[in-house]
Structure 1
């Protein structure tokens, strides 16, 4: 069994002002998305400008925060927030849903794409490889906070989390950081380096994230207010991953769109 490295969740404090590691991880995620977006836009024939990337990332921040919070309220604890509606606004107290954040980003990408004459699939193909580093940072923030730990286990790398009771558990935050963050980034960046059919890069992100998250959920402790919600075996996170997996498969396997007199769109 490994010893959980207790880290002060406050990274820096000056008087009443405190910078928490979790908030800093969000900042790292958005900063990395902005930088990687500019790298992609700078490639010959990308069809994107640096200014467009700047605008898109700005709107994505709003999509992630608002969508993530609304998703948590609706998917994971609707009864509590229905009884305490003002608590829905208390983002600083925690409670964010990745799947809700994805929905918020999709909406923002669609709206922004319309404003500059690009389809949702075009915008999604640009954005998809930018997301995993933020996921890696976010999961490291979860680990530092000692939250979203895994199920009880006796594997040699199990840890006892301060808020998880006396029994050793899977460090599932690190599993997610490695798979949804590092591995998915390497896969997407390499795949996007060559011309692909429109929507394929975004589809690979949906398939990759959905598959990795579905797998890790078998090691992650289900939310206490929900437990296992389907067949006493599958979690809410797994159910929310299924539409992502199917949508990703569709985008990757669909036939190229061909217009009369024009070649298939890449």
Structure 2
């Protein structure tokens, strides 16, 4: 059944402060990562690292997501606007975050943290990878609630009419009048794929189940990170076929290739490479979170860089 999107993007207000659902989704993502990560730390899945060390890692990752996501969006999708208005880079309240930029930020943060902890970088990334999909899923739900990044027109029964995707004459209507037009069938031609929900399902739920199950027992170094990169790259590439490209970029080639697809192809290649490399890589065996004195907590099988 076709749905009219009329969700208030503001969750609640405290005086002049307006709290958006999108921001709450970020908090849910980080909170879920913290909860899941504590379980993995308690199970000894990152030998030599205790709860305090994991909290430091999560703090580093949060900074990487926010700074990298914003810089990535500006460089990949808003460079022309940046050249016209350099201050737009700090106006995060106007929206604009890039997964690929956030990923680079997390990689940089994890590399710095791993050096401080004297851990192999990919042991850290293999630990972190299963914690990321819930945040991706919550973020896409935030996109849906905000009525942004919607898909192409569809005649499927599950299409969604987004007011921001309607002609201007409909956007000027108040919510009640818009609802009346929808119920009269006047808006059916503008029903769109809810691509945000497709991505929430694939990048959030499916990736989490696959990675959590795959990492539930020790795997060779690089394998979990490789599966993450491969799954995300494939899922994002496919969903881009039913998602409207960024208006300022459009299609980059062939009438269908988008920036999201261009940025996802290297992830597919990286995932395949890491899975191939994992065939002969050492396995980091779990150790108790608080090892006995004199035990090298990072040894495991190939635990050191």
SS at match of 1:221: coil
Partner of 2:241: 218
Matches within 5 A, 1:68-83: 68-83=69-84
Q: Is the 8 A contact 1:172 1:216 kept in 2?
A: yes
Q: Is the 8 A contact 2:5 2:163 kept in 1?
A: no
Shift in Å at residue 120 of structure 1?
1.5
> Distance between the aligned counterparts of 1:56 and 1:95, measured in 2?
25
Number of positions where the alignment pairs a residue of Structure 1 with one of Structure 2:
262
> Distance between the aligned counterparts of 2:12 and 2:162, measured in 1?
23
Q: Is the 8 A contact 2:144 2:196 kept in 1?
A: yes
- Structure number with bigger Rg: 2
Shift in Å at residue 264 of structure 1?
7.5
Partner of 1:107: 108
Partner of 1:131: 132
Partner of 2:199: 176
Q: Aligned Cα RMSD in Å?
A: 1.5
Q: Is the 8 A contact 1:197 1:265 kept in 2?
A: no
Partner of 1:2: 2
> Distance between the aligned counterparts of 2:281 and 2:236, measured in 1?
30
Q: Is the 8 A contact 1:151 1:170 kept in 2?
A: yes
TM-score (normalizing by structure 1)? 0.95
Higher relative contact order (CA 8 A, sep 6+): 2
Please, which runs of 5 or more residues in structure 2 have no aligned partner?
167-186, 283-299
Alignment match of 1:253 (pick from 259, 268, 276): 276
Alignment match of 2:218 (pick from 179, 185, 195): 195
Q: Is the 8 A contact 1:256 1:264 kept in 2?
A: no
Please, which runs of 5 or more residues in structure 1 have no aligned partner?
none
> Distance between the aligned counterparts of 2:45 and 2:227, measured in 1?
21
Q: Is the 8 A contact 1:256 1:265 kept in 2?
A: no
TM-score (normalizing by structure 2)? 0.83
> Distance between the aligned counterparts of 1:160 and 1:215, measured in 2?
22
1:265/1:230 CA distance change after superposition, 3 Å: farther
Alignment match of 2:261 (pick from 225, 231, 238): 238
Partner of 2:230: 207
Q: Which runs of 4+ in 1 moved over 2 A?
A: 263-266
